[in-house]
Structure 1
Amino acid sequence: MTGTHKHRILTLLIAAIWLANGLFCKVLNLIPRHEHIVARILGNDYSRILTVLIGLSEVVMAIWVLTKFKTKLNAIIQMTVVATMNILEFLLVPDLLLWGRLNSVFALLFIGIVYYNEFVLNKNLNRQTKK
């Protein structure tokens, strides 16, 4: 499999993860646990609207990933957001996480994939096109 093919597949996978978590889990509330997490951390009064807004921002992230606009900035923001969300959840609501504190392993894996896709694969592809 070529680097270009790997990069394309990983980019689609990353966008799909943001879309699924944002649209299906949060906006459409197919996984109510996400709203419970928001309620526990930020309070019950506005947990639904905040969950929808978080979900919409994740949908926007998916679109941004697919546009390939400012990919380095995008990758840095993705890694920062995922790390921040997971640290907060790890410390404040581990009982509401699908795999408890082990969720952090999956977060690190996702961060690693985002890093590899942008700062290894994409960097190598950019070098090849400049030759």
Structure 2
Amino acid sequence: MSNMENDKKHYDYMADPKLSDKWKFRFKFIEDNGYPAVLVPTPAWREALKKLSIMERLKVSLNFITYFFSFIYLAILGLWKKSILCVLAIFVVAIISNLLNIRALMYIVPFYFACRTNVWYYDLKVKGKQDWSL
């Protein structure tokens, strides 16, 4: 086991002064309710979301900064592998949307990344895991 993984096993995100309250809220929600499914939320996740206010639901479900700044924000968070995948996905979808003449496809990639950023950052900070999966 690497030192990074060993350090992350003992990482207490609630005691980390560098982590904002928004991230602590998101991490606590993920820790309490498990991971959301990729496209459709699990029943447990859906029930837990119903108990939150609209703003809290958005805070947990989406990362608006990622939607607008995609790969740049992912790189800032330290999710460099996801950032590279984001650039590649944007490039591929741009080609496909251009070939099919469907410009709306370009909104799918940033939305997907905005939905997954919170979970990916949780994996990085709490579990010390960063991989090439989407």
TM-score of the aligned structures, taking structure 2 as reference length:
0.29
- Write 1 or 2 for the structure with the bigger share of helix: 1
TM-score of the aligned structures, taking structure 1 as reference length:
0.29
Instruction: Work out which structure has the larger RCO, using CA pairs closer than 8 Å and 6 or more positions apart in sequence.
Output: 2
